[in-house]
């Protein structure tokens, strides 16, 4: 269950934005409040989520292009682009920044501004990551929701259930992800309980990903565990393709990947 850390209503933030803006900002934006949307992925990879976001705005009385504008910034799975994209939105003095792509997007937005409200959904501990001061008194300018847990242990359990004879698992993570330590720790603890041996590998670029699969082809582990990450989510087709080319015949498990239609 997500832990709600809201301190103000998103709709109230938007509704009051036009009144609160300085006169110069109002003149630039023609009195229409602007939402900054910071995405760690590509627009194609989370098109269904963007559609749901627009629908939610419509239900709250905000229609894009009529009484609210949205400035989109996409990192295309390249986490190192997020700080500059977040800074650009902050410089444009948007009314609120909405982040997608987990903790790393939220951290980039938080670092870019201490005054513009930020709405985020993350998977880690917002207090430990210093996104908020506490759950009872978050302080600052960030609000949203968090599952406050790593799903790595549960996903590793699922992999074990599906291939119970598997012993050696290649665990792939993006070292630039701010929650990678939490995921690695959870996966390591779960592996001991399940009697699995994890071999950790890192990849944050396409070239590094291909190098990892060269290792996979040589080591031939029993399974591949891929961490939840905007880069891996964007590269899911390549992950599957590389696995096929390398004749990796074991089970591959990913979190939040689209499921095949019935």
Residue 260 lies in a domain: no
Residue 190 lies in a domain: yes
Domain match, 218 and 92 both: no
Residue 213 lies in a domain: yes
Domain match, 142 and 162 both: no
* Residue 138: closest CA among 147, 127, 146, 148: 127
Domain match, 156 and 141 both: no
pTM for the whole thing?
0.61
State pLDDT tens for residues 164-183.
988 999 899 988 776 787 78
| Better-scored residue on pLDDT, 255 or 203 | 203
Q: Pick from 146, 168, 183: which residue ends a domain? A: 146
Domain match, 185 and 139 both: no
- pLDDT band per the 50, 70, 90 thresholds, residue 240: confident
Domain that holds residue 183: 152-253
Residue 259 lies in a domain: no
Domain match, 23 and 52 both: yes
Contact indicator for 159, 166 with CB cutoff of 8 Å: yes
**Sequence-ordered strand ranges (E) for 123-167:** 142-146
Q: Say whether pLDDT at 8 is over 70.
A: no
Residue 248 lies in a domain: yes
Domain match, 235 and 218 both: yes
Residue 262 lies in a domain: no
- Longest distance between any two alpha carbons in the chain, whole Å: 66
Span 39-66, mean pLDDT? Answer: 92
Q: What are the tokens at 225? A: 């565990």
Domain match, 123 and 31 both: yes
Residue 174 lies in a domain: yes
Q: Give the CATH number of the domain where residue 241 resides.
A: 3.40.50.2300
The H or E element containing residue 218 is: helix 206-219
List CB contacts of 228: < 8 A, sequence separation 6 or more: 102, 123, 151, 152, 183, 254, 255, 256
Cα–Cα distances in angstroms (integers) from residue 150 to residues 191, 221, 224, in the given order: 14, 24, 18
Beta bridge partners of 90: none
Pairing of strands 142-146, 3-4: antiparallel
Contact indicator for 75, 85 with CB cutoff of 8 Å: yes
| Total of domains in the chain | 2
State pLDDT tens for residues 129-151.
888 888 888 899 999 888 655 57
Domain match, 102 and 169 both: no
* Residue 73: closest CA among 52, 58, 90: 90
Residue 180 lies in a domain: yes
Domain match, 212 and 120 both: no
Domain match, 192 and 234 both: yes
The phi and psi torsions of 176 (rounded to 5 degrees) equal -80, -10
The SS3 call for residue 230 is helix
Domain match, 51 and 179 both: no
Q: Pick from 79, 111, 146: which residue ends a domain? A: 146
Give the pLDDT confidence score for residue 101 in this predicted structure: 84
Q: Pick from 146, 177, 211: which residue ends a domain? A: 146
Quote the CA–CA distance of 131 and 118 in Å, as a whole number: 10
Contact indicator for 71, 94 with CB cutoff of 8 Å: yes
């Amino acid at each position: 269950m997500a832990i709600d850390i809201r301190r103000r209503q998103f709709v109230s933030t938007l509704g009051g934005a036009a009144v609160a803006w300085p006169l110069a900002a109002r003149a630039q934006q023609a009195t229409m409040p602007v939402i900054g949307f910071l995405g760690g992925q590509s627009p194609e990879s989370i098109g269904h989520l963007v559609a749901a976001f627009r629908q939610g705005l419509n239900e709250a009385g905000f229609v894009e292009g009529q009484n609210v504008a949205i400035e989109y910034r996409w990192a295309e799975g390249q986490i190192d682009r997020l700080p500059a994209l977040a800074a650009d939105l902050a410089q444009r003095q948007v009314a609120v920044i909405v982040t997608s792509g987990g903790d790393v997007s939220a951290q980039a937005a938080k670092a870019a501004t201490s005054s513009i409200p930020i709405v985020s959904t993350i998977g880690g501990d917002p207090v430990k990551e210093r996104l908020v001061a506490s759950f009872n008194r978050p302080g600052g300018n960030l609000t949203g929701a968090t599952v406050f847990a790593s799903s790595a242990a549960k996903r590793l359990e699922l992999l074990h259930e599906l291939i119970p004879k598997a012993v050696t698992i290649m665990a792939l993570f993006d070292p630039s992800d701010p929650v990678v330590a939490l995921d690695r720790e959870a996966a390591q603890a779960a592996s001991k309980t399940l009697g699995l041996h994890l071999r950790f590998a890192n990849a944050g670029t396409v070239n590094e990903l291909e190098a990892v699969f060269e290792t996979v082809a040589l080591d031939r582990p029993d399974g591949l565990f891929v961490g939840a990450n905007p880069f891996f989510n964007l590269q899911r087709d390549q992950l599957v393709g590389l696995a096929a080319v390398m004749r990796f015949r074991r089970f591959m498990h990913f979190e939040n990947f689209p499921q095949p239609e019935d």
